[in-house]
Amino acid sequence: MALRIAINGFGRIGRQLTRLLTQFPAENVKLAAVNTLETTATAAHLLKYDSCQGIFPAEISSHNDILQVDHHKISFFHEPDPALLPWQDENIDLIIECSGHFTDAERAAAHLAAGAKRVLITAAASNVDAIICLGVNENSYRPEEHKIISSSSCTTNCIAPALSAINRLWGVEQALATFIHSSTSAQHLLDHFDPDPRRARAAGLNLIPCPTSASHQIPAVIPTLRGRFDALAIRVPTPHIHLADLTICLRHTPDRADFTAALAEEAASTLQGIMRISNEPLVSIDLKGSKHSCVIDAEHVHFQDNMVKLLIWHANEFAYCCRIKDIIELIARQQY
């Protein structure tokens, strides 16, 4: 029987995930419902026309809170309180929590109270049963124990596969990351009040240093790096695609050629579809539509004694949603 899923929140991630689930459906997964505060007609329009990802090549229509994408019919609800949603009546197995408002397990548990069997939060989240990062720790998933799960953040998914492989192959003594991070809808078009004075400034006019959840999420998915990793982000006026500048102090130091070759071997085997080595002189727009969490720029692998610096690209909407879809399919395979 197919895993019946519902999406809560129809923003950047919710819509991109809907595109993936309907354009490349898995036999054992059915997108049954969406909950969003916007009208179904508006949701249909924004699903079809996207300023970053382009026009969705599907037939889309809406009528009486049913959105149809080609032959897929999806029920729409407009309820701000998750505890009041009809998940039991809809026989929902898994909620994909994309709203950004329920990133604590206690609040996300409202979906369980409404009758859903499990929740996957598509963000860094607190007090969850498990944090799953593909290419790092997906084998730790236990369906009988893990009812509220996080797919971590896009920035964590950007560097964790490479960092985990490097730690396993050569050992990581210390690591620091700076994320050149595209603007998000949580920022302000013009200067506007915000508790963080830097985030209060106009996103389209500034480079904005800010914290990143990766600083605590990387040690959560790679526990041996607790106390040995930190990170920050610089928000830049681009609509999507991130670039991570990752510097690592290695325990054992290979030469540059062996280092790159070993990572290429990892990308072709254990991290196939998750990590890629690029030998081309790419810029950010070239990563549009890239499904890999982690694209290492081979030209910019720099060694200084036991330190190595990497530049790693990540399509923070498309690739991140590909990993969410992978986790959904992992849950579907292991449902009981």
Tens-place pLDDT, residues 151-167: 999 999 999 999 999 99
Do residues 179 and 155 make contact, with C-beta atoms less than 8 angstroms apart? yes
CATH superfamily membership of 154-316: Dihydrodipicolinate Reductase; domain 2 (3.30.360.10)
Shortest CA distance to 248 belongs to which of 257, 259, 264, 234?
Answer: 259
Shortest CA distance to 14 belongs to which of 38, 4, 26?
Answer: 38
Q: What is the mean pLDDT of the chain?
A: 97
* Partner residues linked to 240 by β-bridges: none
Give me the DSSP letters along 131-185.
Answer: E--TTTSGGG--TTT-SEEE---HHHHHHHHHHHHHHHHT-EEEEEEEEEEE--T
Active site residues: 154
d(C-alpha 102, C-alpha 203), whole Å: 25
**Tell me, what's the pLDDT at 7?**
99
Do residues 112 and 88 make contact, with C-beta atoms less than 8 angstroms apart? no
Domain positions in the chain: 3-122, 154-316
**Tell me, what's the pLDDT at 1?**
82
Based on the number of CB atoms within 10 Å of its own CB, is 260 exposed (0-12), middle (13-18) or buried (19 or more)?
Answer: middle
pLDDT digits (tens, 9 = 90+) for 254-268: 999 999 999 999 999
Q: Report the amino acid identity of residue 198.
A: R
In this model, does residue 135 exceed pLDDT 80? yes
pLDDT digits (tens, 9 = 90+) for 207-252: 999 999 999 999 999 999 999 999 999 999 999 999 999 999 999 9
Record: fold of 3-122: Rossmann fold (3.40.50)
* Partner residues linked to 50 by β-bridges: 54
Do residues 311 and 331 make contact, with C-beta atoms less than 8 angstroms apart? no
Element (H, E) at 265: helix 256-268
pTM here? 0.96
Buried b (16+ CB within 10 A) or exposed e, 42-69: ebbebbbeeeebeebebebebeebebbb
